[in-house]
Chain A
């Protein structure tokens, strides 16, 4: 079965820290995505990657960066965490061909104190 694994379910960090959220998929998918999910706002795309070392900004990239050194792994980086980045973060992957459904991990609930 398809599997997207996010390294942590819950994470608590302090303001100003550098935070890494890791995501691994075992489906050999070309595309990988990072979203954040907030009450009333649904899912908003932060960054996506369509190949190793390739990345493109989504709707809300400010304050975030990403890294994709291997096909199966996509990392989201908060360079200097702030309280407004407290949220649920969801990783997803999909095949490189058009219009294939995304497969999601179960999310990381990140709290910035």
Chain B
């Protein structure tokens, strides 16, 4: 199983760009990298997914280096409402036994 490591917590200020890195040294060839956001008393919500290089959508970017042993979630110009726990997930949901969630990063956005 690909073990993932994330920082436990991060603080930022409104309007700044935030980068959260996840390490996954044992990622397998078929594994994708998926990031979720979770607010208190809610289930995680999908943010972005990628396999290699860079992926961008309307809320975030995901950077994956060539060796795929880490990935970085980038949130541009964060606001107070981005305060949440962010999870990195490595694996293939078609073979769920390979799914490994990180322990999550608590992002706190300050005014």
**How far is the CB of B7 from the nearest CB of chain A, in Å?**
13
> Knowing that A42-B101, A48-B96, A101-B34 are A-B contacts, what are 15 other residue pairs whose CB atoms are under 8 Å apart, sorted by A's residue number?
A4-B43, A41-B103, A42-B104, A45-B97, A57-B97, A90-B43, A90-B44, A92-B43, A98-B93, A98-B95, A99-B94, A100-B93, A103-B46, A106-B41, A106-B42
**Pair A45/B44 contact, Cβ less than 8 Å:** no
What CA separation (Å) do A58 and B43 show in the bound complex? 19
What CA separation (Å) do A103 and B46 show in the bound complex? 7
The majority secondary structure among interface residues of chain B is loop
Binding site for B on A (CB under 8 A): 4, 31, 33, 35, 40-45, 48, 50, 56-58, 90, 92, 94, 96-107
B99 within 8 A of A: yes
Residue ID in chain A nearest B34 by CB atoms: A101
**Pair B102/A42 contact, Cβ less than 8 Å:** yes
Residues of B within 8 A of A57 (CB): 97
6 A–B contact pairs at CB < 8 A? Answer: A48-B97, A56-B96, A57-B97, A104-B45, A106-B42, A107-B43
Residue ID in chain A nearest B31 by CB atoms: A99
The majority secondary structure among interface residues of chain A is strand
Pick from B32, B43, B97: contact of A99, CB under 8 Å: B32
Knowing A90-B43, A107-B43 are in contact, say whether A101-B97 is a contact too (CB < 8 A). Answer: no
**Pair B93/A31 contact, Cβ less than 8 Å:** yes
Residues of B within 8 A of A56 (CB): 96-97
Residues of A within 8 A of B63 (CB): none
